Structure 1
Amino acid sequence: MPVTQEQAQWYQDAFSKLVDNVDQAILGKREVIELVVTAMLAGGHVLLEDFPGTGKTVLAKALANTLDGTHSRIQFTPDLLPSDVTGVTIYDQGKGHFEFHRGPIFASIVLADEINRASPKTQSALLEVMEEGKVTVDGVSYDVGTPFMVIATQNPVEQAGTYSLPEAQLDRFLIKTSLGYPDHDTAVTLLLDSANRARASRVSPIIASSSITTMAQLASDVHVDAAVLSYLNQIVAATREHQDTALGVSMRGALALARATKSWAIAHGRTYVTPDDVRDLAVPVLAHRIIVDPESDFAGVTAEDIVSRVLVEIAPPAYRAA
């Protein structure tokens, strides 16, 4: 069913209120917050990679507090077991049968803090639930429900004792982004409020879980012209053929970008996707899915550089509204 302009306006207003609410905890990073909220409404997951102390955990907590639903935090460590994430089946002597005790993954918003510190076996426990929204323990599947979103954090320093995320797991994240350090004015504002060590606690719930599901369904009905989809696919294909690429973006990445652009378009009050929406989201959605050729990597070429160059080389289709 086509999205009406009235519905798009309602969505834009709700989206703006969500971003404003989270922005109380994370000052001066509205663009990053918009990306994270877009991922949530597109049914995807987010990887926040940045230096320590930039507010990654605060952002995840603030978003969780904005949603009137359940949320949990998993602190990933080398000795964390898969059952510590998914849950475990325990025999109840009083009742005479086995019972499944749910793990922290059963929540609307799950913060996977420092995900690269856990062993590959524990990291892989997230794969099924991130992709399919369910957990299988002892041959029985359990649905985690909707909405469901994993916000994982990692930092690019202190690599001792860490396990790099495999490409298969990176591909499960809809968006990878970073916060970076605040500008001067924002930093001064934060210093003036230095006595407050729990900024995320200021954020109160403003939207029900059911409303998130409604918004996600509305976003999925946004119109995407065939010419825009062709442009999107050309970008994805170009990342596979680029001279600096060892492995380009998969089809899963192309589908993820298509979903994300729908949420991005309606968040800006439109009932259709434009080429600019594709360009806005290309780097955060595609870059982490690319493996840079070792020689190019040594020369300083990054995955973000590859996507940016592709966007310059491929001309967008002529603008046409739905």
Structure 2
Amino acid sequence: MTTTTVTTAPPEKHAPAAVADERPRTRRRGLAPGRRLPAARLTGPLLLLVLWAAASAAGRLDPGAVPAPWTVLETGARLWTDGTLTDDILTSLQRAGSGFAIGLTAGVLLALASGLTRTGEALIDGTVNLNRAIPTLGLIPLFILWLGIGETFKIAIIAIVVYIPIYLNTHAALSGIDHRFVELAEVQGLSKLAFIREIVVPGALPGFFVGLRLGVTGSWLGLVVLEQINATSGLGYLMFQAQNYGQSDVILVGLVVYGVFGLISDSVVRLIERRVLSWRRTLSN
């Protein structure tokens, strides 16, 4: 009689689930730009200022053509102390503010009339685009004949420079509102005023703020040219007089003031935009 011996292997020890899966787990990279850095937009201007100072200290720049930053600062302080720079800044702010207010009002009203009615679009949109195709500064001789060579034509030109980008961007935002929102408003029985408040205004605000930023910048760009035409005050007049006497430091003072005002006004518009459109989840926030 033959006996068979059966040997049983010891049971396998199963590794824990966490150890069994030995494949490396890599974290997926985020596609968003990341957290906003404080005062990040000042990095570029500060870097430019450092490079300018370093090149001036190393003697790489001709002081007669491009004075050092400290020279420009001393000139600005002198002009501020004797009251010249203060008066010119106030005059430029008044001109830019008046033209900007008129252009802002005209741009918004024309965009609403053109974006909400077919009749307004037929009458307004083509005319504004024709105006956009004509160089605004090329209208200066004609406006001088119409309005004279005083302050009125300067404010009118600034208003034209401002209203065109505000109109174009606001009108584009109005035209881009999804028609399903219009159908929803009709189903809900909203009145015309409620429709504008609940649908039109929120839909048009993003484009409006883009146009507003371009309009603010345009008001300063137009002011530089206009204040050199039969003006007796203003930053442009100050720079024009400095050109006649070869004072490059005074010209740079005017350019720096223009740049600072442009950066501040753009930052204010951005801040208002973030506050008003805080309900949006966008790539920037």
TM-score (norm 1): 0.21
Write 1 or 2 for the structure with the bigger share of helix.
2
**TM-score of the superposed pair, with normalisation by structure 2:** 0.23
